[in-house]
Amino acid sequence: MLLILIKNNFILMLRSKWILVVMIAGPILVISVLSNVFEDMMKSYQAPESFSVGYSIDKESSFSAYIDLIEEAAAESSIYLIEYSGQNALDVVENNDCAAFIEFASQDYTIYRVEGHETEGRILEHFIASLSSSMMMQSADLQPVEIETVQLEAMPEVESIDYYGIVYTVYFIWCCFIAIAMVISSERKHHIQLKYQITLLSDLKLYLARVVPCIIISILGIGISTLVSTIAFEIKWGCIPLTILLLFINIVAGAAVGVFFSTVFNNLAISITVSFMWVWIAGFVGGSFETYLLSRTSEFIKTLSPIYHVNRALVEYSALGSSSYTGSSMIYLSGIIVIFTLLSVGCSKWKRGKAS
């Protein structure tokens, strides 16, 4: 009897094409959009290898006697100075590939920084300020200026496509409760729940009749979506065996939570609304919308969300190959599965006893 119910519920879920469309197309579309929108935000700083700077100089400028030496020192610092005599700074940067422009007046200079080349502009400012000091200007040996960068011991750069490819796969896994909607709707339409109450099937078996097909549908939908997005966007998942295991346990946990809410509330709209609210809040805290890498949310609040543990573990698999959050993810998800299974079965028993 249990296998028959699982089979019937699975077929019922499969008939709802929009459920599979959401599970498959949803993550792909969201990953594509957000990874492009936040690509620049997640890029780490990289000093430009070289860039060109236009300049003009007055004949009476105090820099005139040193301009050849300045050009040589700039070239050694990968800054290539190009003279544009008598031309307007705006015209030069608009019509030429210049990252900045500098005007050498008689006693001072003015640097024009170009939008989109702020880093180059600051490097130029540092370079000219160093060369214009009285000690440097009295020396015939002008040295190139080095801009030092320090690599901190931290997690390597995570590309936006990898980050959002991972966290939105996790997010849509927690939305797998929509697969149960068709079953709950059919049960209430045909008063099947009342028939269950007079059967010999235990509440645990009735729970499994819902959660098992939901897990199978979720594996199919999320599996296809993950495969397509991984190939299309070249997402790097890191430790594959642990990733697959963690995603599977996550699917089971998501199905358990979805079945619980559908069991507690007699209204389908309310159960879906509450489920989405739970996933949205857990996702917001856990880094689905604001990357946990840049989040200002306190560490304590973030650790309350199971999505945070899973996201962090999977992202660190991608960046480092391992994660200290593997254990907490497994414990958190296993606890959710056990607790929400007991709550669902207990709630079902209570309702059956109340009906009798």
Domain spans of the chain? 2-41+158-355, 51-137
Please say if the pLDDT value at position 156 is more than 80: no
pLDDT at 144: 47
CA–CA distance, 331 with 190 (Å, rounded to integer): 39
Residue pLDDT, tens place only, 232-290: 999 999 899 999 999 999 999 999 998 898 888 867 788 888 888 999 999 888 888 87
- Listing DSSP states for 33-70 in one string gives HHHHHTTTTTPPP---S-EEEEEEE-TT-TTGGGHHHH
Please say if the pLDDT value at position 155 is more than 60: no
pLDDT at 202: 80
Look at the pTM and tell me if it is higher than 0.95.
no
Chosen CATH of 51-137 out of 3.20.14, 3.40.190, 3.20.20, 3.40.50: 3.40.190
- pLDDT: which is higher, 173 or 144: 173
Please say if the pLDDT value at position 141 is more than 70: no
Most confidently modeled range among 176-185, 295-304, 314-323: 314-323
Contact 331, 247 (CB under 8 A): no
Residue pLDDT, tens place only, 11-63: 878 777 777 888 889 899 988 888 777 766 565 445 567 888 888 888 888 77
pLDDT at 43: 59
Mean pLDDT, all residues of the chain: 80
Bridge partners, 111 (sequence order): 102
Bridge partners, 69 (sequence order): none
CA–CA distance, 208 with 11 (Å, rounded to integer): 15
Residue 142 confidence class, pLDDT cut points 50, 70, 90: very low
The CA dihedral of 350, 352, 355, 356, to the nearest 10 degrees, is -110
Residue pLDDT, tens place only, 66-97: 788 888 888 888 888 888 877 777 777 777 77
Please say if the pLDDT value at position 143 is more than 70: no
Residue 137 confidence class, pLDDT cut points 50, 70, 90: very low
